[in-house]
Every structure is written in C-alpha cells, then in structure tokens.
Amino acid sequence: MLPCFVDFHCHSTSSDGSLPPRELVQSAHRQGVHWMALTDHDTTAGLSEARAEAEALGMRFTNGIELSATWENGHCHILGYGFDKENPALKEAIACFQVARSGRIQKMVDKLGELGLSMSVEDLKIPPGTSAGRPHLAKAMVEKGFVPTMDEAFEGYLVKGAVAYVDKEIYTPQEVIQLIAQAGGFAVLAHPTSLRLKRESFLECLIEFKGFGLAGVEAYHSSHSRHQCNRLVRQSREAGLWAVGGSDYHGDAKPWVKMGRLKKGRKILSAWISPEFLEQLSTKS
C-alpha cells in the first residue's frame, strides 16, 4: 500500500462532534486525508452517511466506534474497527448505552438544578438519535450564561469527581472488547494515558486486555507528546499489540484538535500504523 494520510479517530454530530457525518468526511477530504474511520461515542448512527460520502469522494472508510468501559480512576475508552454494525449483540448493547446516556444527562441536569443552575434537558437541544454527552451539557451551560467557557463548565462541574458528574459506564473493559471482537471487529485501547496507570501496571493491563481480545493501542493521539507516542509504540510492541492512531477530532467542541493531525500539526501517516491493522481492515472495507 502506498503511504498515505490517515485518521482513525473522529467524532460527528452523531455524538459530541460539531460536524454532521457528511460534512466531517468532506472536511477530511479537503485536508487530504485518504483513509478515515468515524468513531462516535457508543453509537454507529453516523456510519452509513459517512461511508456513502467517503465512497463518493473516493476515500477509504472504516466502520468505527468508541465505547466507554467502567474504570475506577480516569477513563477507559475502547475503539472498535471493521465490525459488522448490524451485529445483534452490538446493536443491543448500543441501545443500552443510549438509555444509560440519556438517564445520566437527566441526572446531571438535576444536580446542576440543585446547585441553582436551572435548566431542562430540552435546553440542551440534542437531536433525537444523538449519543448525548457532557459537551452538550457544557455548551448549554455557556449559552445560559452559567459559565464563560465549556472548559470552565467541565473543570467546575462536569469532570469525573466534580459536583455534577454522574457515571454512564455499564460494561467492563472485558465486555466491551469482547463485544467488538464478536461483531467481527478489532478492539483498540483509546488514548491510553487516560487510564492513569504507572508504567508497570500499564503493561500488565495491556497483557490482561490482550487476553480479552484487544488487538491494538492508540499510540498516536492528539493529546500525546511525540515522546509519549514513541513510548506507546514500544509498549504496544512489547505486549504484542498493533500501534494505531487518530486525532480525536471533535470540531468546535475541541477547536485545538485538527483533523488528521497530532500535536504541533504533525500529520498522521499510514506508515506509522501497524501494517497488520491496515491489512486486516483492507479486507473489511
């Protein structure tokens, strides 16, 4: 395969990104991205629209998703790639995720109300079928004038452990990894630094997750320094896992993150990604 410009981690308005799937793909095309995956949080709702646009533009497209799993400290996000989005067990789990997310947003709105920041879920203007998340809430808090910026909404109220935070996770990492694998896909640990593990326990965790069926590690991510990317590539090799990468583009919700790029505008190149991952995906899309 000729070297190309890739992005295997992007969000659309099907979750908390700011561009609808079609516009997201068009934007990726304008940036020169050749191969992308749409990885919305706990939903596959945007995949058909994104794939149709990618095909029309002659880009390669891979089905993706970013599933949240239970985790004590920090966050555990597992990316899924190349799965069958019609798989019944996956569809059922996604339906459960959506119920959990909606219920959780209501609880967070109630908590904010108790603190004197009174809103209704309708104020969040979340279109039906969207995977509702904290950025929707943060945006509404800014619009209501409760906080000057989304960042301050997160820092003051919405980060894990803050006054209005409520958990949404319903499956363990093992369950999430197995869900992706049994739907014919490959599970990849997203932005591993969010697990907040020290070096030794991180390696142990990779080995444990590999035992559950984990295939790769998101070594390249816009939140990682060049040094962190290199270290994660080494660690993924040590654990016998593929190295994968994406920007985690969200559009206006995280304006400092650019499509197809890492910190300091570095382009994500296919040559950095484990060839086995690209080969396996080639057979699926």
Provide, rounded to whole angstroms, the least separation between the CB of residue 104 and Fe ion. Answer: 16
134 binds ligand AMP (CB under 6 A): yes
216 binds ligand AMP (CB under 6 A): no
Pairwise CA distance, residues 102 & 110, whole Å: 13
Q: Is-contact 146 47, C-beta < 8 A?
A: no
Instruction: Determine how β-strand 186-189 pairs with β-strand 6-7.
Output: unpaired
Chain position whose Cβ is nearest to ligand AMP: 133
CA triplet 191, 24, 78: central angle to 5 degrees?
25
Site for ligand AMP in 51-80 (CB under 6 A): none
The residue (of 16 and 53) whose beta carbon lies closer to Zn ion is 16
Q: Which stretches of the chain bind Fe ion, using CB under 5 A? A: 66, 77, 190, 248
Q: Is-contact 105 121, C-beta < 8 A?
A: yes
Provide, rounded to whole angstroms, the least separation between the CB of residue 251 and ligand AMP. Answer: 10
| DSSP E strand stretches across the chain | 6-7, 35-38, 60-69, 76-81, 186-189, 214-221, 242-246
DSSP label at residue 187? E
> Roughly what angle, to the nearest 10 degrees, separates helices 88-114 and 134-143?
30
| DSSP E strand stretches across 70-185 | 76-81
16 binds Zn ion (CB under 5 A): yes
Instruction: Show the binding pattern over residues 145-184: x = contacts ligand AMP (CB under 6 A), - = does not.
Output: -----xx--x------------------------------
Among 45, 164, 253, 273, binds ligand AMP (CB under 6 A): 253
Among 51, 60, 191, 254, binds ligand AMP (CB under 6 A): 254
83 binds ligand AMP (CB under 6 A): no
Among 7, 16, 49, 218, binds ligand AMP (CB under 6 A): 16
Q: Is-contact 67 172, C-beta < 8 A?
A: no
Pairwise CA distance, residues 153 & 235, whole Å: 35
The residue (of 222 and 235) whose beta carbon lies closer to Fe ion is 222
Pairwise CA distance, residues 17 & 95, whole Å: 20
135 binds ligand AMP (CB under 6 A): yes
Partner whose binding site includes residue 192, from ligand AMP, Zn ion, Fe ion, none (CB under 5 to 8 Å by kind): none
In Å, what is the CA distance from 184 to each residue of 69, 214, 269, 274?
19, 13, 25, 19
The residue (of 192 and 210) whose beta carbon lies closer to Zn ion is 192
The residue (of 85 and 254) whose beta carbon lies closer to ligand AMP is 254
Amino acid symbol at 258: K
Q: Which spans of this chain sit near Zn ion (rule: CB under 5 A)?
A: 16
Q: Which spans of this chain sit near ligand AMP (rule: CB under 6 A)?
A: 16, 41, 133-135, 150-151, 154, 250, 253-254
